[in-house]
Amino acid sequence: MNRTAPKRSDDATAALAAMSGQTSTEAPDSESPRILALDPSEQPPRCRVLVVDDNVDSARSMAMLLQLEGYEVECAFDGEEALARAESHQPHAVILDLGLPLLNGYEVARRLRETPALSRIGPLLLIALSGYGRERDRARAAEAGFDLHLTKPADPNEVLQVLARHRDRSV
């Protein structure tokens, strides 16, 4: 396959700005990180991702970034909704906040790992994305079944790289 150089995505950059707290009216400075997007004709097969965060703006910003990069994304805003969306959406990956209402992220992760229907589509990648970043939080996340623990604010490029590696192995 003849690959062309990635193009800069202004929409992805706007999503990154929203995630980092910049308002959309602020012009990015030359030091702001830019996200590179592939030419749409070179997009890989669709990978389904569930983003779960009780901060609606954070969840939607992450979802927008992932959609711009070719992922099929659903959002949930509490633990119970996350379990219901996971069953209907059948995600390949879940980006999950830990401090959720109704069911915390640790319990959601445990239940997702115990859901047989999710294992039929291939390995489920569970990413904790939380303000809880102490060593005991990371250990507790690992015990609950998370594959990776990222502390907010996470580098969007790191999230994209992790998802791309998982997508390449499972889709």
Task: Write the pLDDT tens digit of every residue in 112-160.
Answer: 999 888 877 788 999 999 999 999 999 999 999 999 999 999 999 999 9
- pLDDT average, residue stretch 83-95: 95
The answer to the question of residue 45 being in a domain is: no
The answer to the question of residue 9 being in a domain is: no
DSSP 104-149: -HHHHHHHHHT-HHHHTTSPPEEEEEES--SHHHHHHHHHHT-SEE
The answer to the question of residue 101 being in a domain is: yes
- pLDDT average, residue stretch 47-74: 96
The answer to the question of residue 44 being in a domain is: no
Please say whether the beta carbons of 125 and 92 come within 8 A: yes
Domain count, the chain: 1
State the distance between the two ends of the chain, measured CA to CA, in whole angstroms.
18
pLDDT of 23 strictly over 90: no
The answer to the question of residue 2 being in a domain is: no
* 79: containing domain: 52-170
The answer to the question of residue 16 being in a domain is: no
CATH of the domain at 58: 3.40.50.2300
